[in-house]
Amino acid sequence: MGRRALALIRPSPMHRAYRLLLRLLTLPLLAWLWWRGRREPGYRQRLAERLGWVDPAPSSMDGILIQAASVGEIQAARPLIQALQASWPLHALTVTTQTPTGAATLREHWGDAVQHLYAPLDTPGACARLLDRLQPRLLVLVERELWPEMMLQCRQRDIPVFLVNARLSERSARGYRRWPSLMQPVWSQLALVCAADAPTYARLQQLGVAAERMQETGNLKFDTPPPPIGDSEPVLPAGHPVIVAGSTHEQEEAQLLDAWPAFAQRHPQAMLVLVPRHPQRFDAVANTLTQRGIAHARRSRAEWPDETRRVLLGDTMGELTSWYRQATVCFIGGTLQPVGGHNALEAMAEGKPVLFGPHTRNFETLYTQIREAGAGRQVRSGAELFDTVDHWLAEDAAMKDTGRRALAYVLSQRGAVERTLAAWPLHLPTAYLDQAPEPVIRHAEQGQVAWYAREDLAGRGPAVFESGPEAGEPLATGSGRGQALRLTLGPADGVLRHYRRGGLIARFNPDRYWGWRAAESRAMAEYALLRWMRARGLPVPRPLAARRCGKGPRYTADILVEWIPGSRNLAQHLDSGDVAEADWIRLGEAIRRMHDLQVFHSDLNCHNLLLDSNRQAWIIDFDKCDRRSGHDWKAANLERLHRSLRKEAGRRPGFHWKESVWGGLIQGYGRTAPQKPRSP
């Protein structure tokens, strides 16, 4: 993106006040993250990413950015991510989370196959840095990650935003209504909203999301596949009633443990598996059990229930589904305590009857439908919970029927992923999905960082950049200072260029530049821009390799691009004869397509425009070029080309330039919907 906004949008007074507030809160928020890291060390890791100081893998640039808050959103996004990997495997995926537990869940499912970054604080600088460095082509928000500054920065960069698995309670909707001038631009910006349920659809429409940009696609969590049964899965003793209380909070645990001893007397073989919601509370819950005199085992210590210990503390991550799978009855936490409830689908997908409290606002539609389907029952206290379990144990057929209804309900609701992805092409240009950028292989060694488009080039290492004139054919350039060399590489030739300075400064510093980040060096910036343009069908050469050399802030740089067969630049064509009007039209079309995508060519001249043997027009040499906002600069860009033609005509005898042919280029520039270029 060249660290430039593509649209100049003036924030509202309310948004400017919001910016000021977030800036004032930045240090306190960072301090809070550091303080919270006492119990969860992950909060102290990679704090720079919270300010947008990220260093993403080069292959992830121009990919899809998925923003999810924590574990619940990652679980919701899981089937969507799997579908994206299958449907559009060349689109790199990056997922941002707010919490380290969300990051751990992502790594558990995908390892390094999906890049993880921490979501930035919602300040202008942090959001801009993330977007400028990652350059996503699409932002996908999961459930309700609606941050006004991030949305504004996406508007300025012309990045489409989708909201998937959208869930919005009436309480949250009322909060948004209090700040209309802050949130109205957000509602109008959303390119697509995939609502998880009908109430959310209605609330978002009332807030201002246009109906034509909304679909009720269902809850993605219904499509989450259950984890396979592995050899390392914990196995509880069989033949005994097992009550699993999942994702519990402090007040709920107190109620459950108050009622447990009486229930255990009535059912001495029963087991209680207690799984707290937050890992940082595992030790505190263990201490509570000890203080109450309740003998218990801890999963983290490889301890198991026995005749004297009928309570198991599930103090590990990623095993809740395993406990649900072996349960007789499941209680869903966050519902007896006024938290709003957690997701019951994991338990229901295992065919288990579920119990839950009255506080279900986070999943109000789901829990209403659970009651209507007879797939679970609401209770008001821990004592009532165990009374209900008593009743079910006495009527085994009714309990099993409730479990069957739970599984049938889950199966009936599946298909949200298919419906969600079917909506995407209707709200995006075809190029966003069909034309993916090429992967990038990154190597770093001995003060050199290099990007490669091909494995064979990566295998050559630095040698590919160190070819001398004897290894290829030197190529003339317009400035007289470029070092371009045509190399035979196979399967296609390449053009190697060493970056050099011009003018007076070149006498003292011919080829060294300043900058710390490899991705922002001359070579990588041009490589990334060429890769971005190629993915959108622009007639530019394919980038093959780029290198930054230097251990400190001073560096030299080289780039290797694919040779365009049969091509000569416009100056060479005019040296040998007239250029046909049809060729001028093609050149104008190519420039217009580049400008339509807001690409500014800093040195647009007759040496950087090519015509190949098929009369296809190409544009080359994108050093110091970027994407820019507005339109005023486009006429000046064309005028620069015009001046270069007049200049060459004045100093090159026999140069076949006439002012009258300029009209052909302008004619091509004014055309619409030009044809996609042929690949070289």
Residues with catalytic function: 73
Helices (H), 395-510: 396-412, 416-423, 430-434, 455-460
Q: How many CB atoms lie within 10 A of CB 603?
A: 17
Check the CA dihedral 303-305-310-311 and report its sign.
positive
Residue from 129, 153, 148 nearest 49 by CA? 129
Is residue 93 within 8 Å of 106, Cβ to Cβ?
no
Distance CA 419, CA 120 (A): 30
Is residue 567 within 8 Å of 529, Cβ to Cβ?
no
Concatenating the DSSP letter of every residue in 259-307 gives HHHHHHHH-TT-EEEEEESSGGGHHHHHHHHHHTT--EEEGGGT----S
Is residue 70 within 8 Å of 43, Cβ to Cβ?
no
Residue from 566, 655, 662 nearest 618 by CA? 566
Alpha-carbon Rg for the chain in angstroms: 31
What is the CA 23 to chain-centroid distance, rounded? 24
Please enumerate, as own/partner, the contacts of 19-28 that have beta carbons within 8 Å and a separation of 24 or more.
19/123, 19/124, 19/149, 22/121, 22/122, 22/123, 22/149, 23/123, 26/51, 26/121, 26/123
What is the CA 127 to chain-centroid distance, rounded? 13
Place of tokens 């039209």: 585
Number of helices (H) and strands (E) in the chain: give both, helices first. Answer: 23, 27
Q: Give the pair of three-digit tokens for residue 491.
A: 């399967």
Is residue 189 within 8 Å of 149, Cβ to Cβ?
no
Cis ω for the linkage preceding 276 (within 30 of 0):
no
- Using CA atoms, how far residue 243 sits from 264, 404, 406, 539, in Å, is 11, 17, 17, 64
> For 331, which DSSP code?
E
Nearest-5° Cα angle at 56, 52 to 57: 175
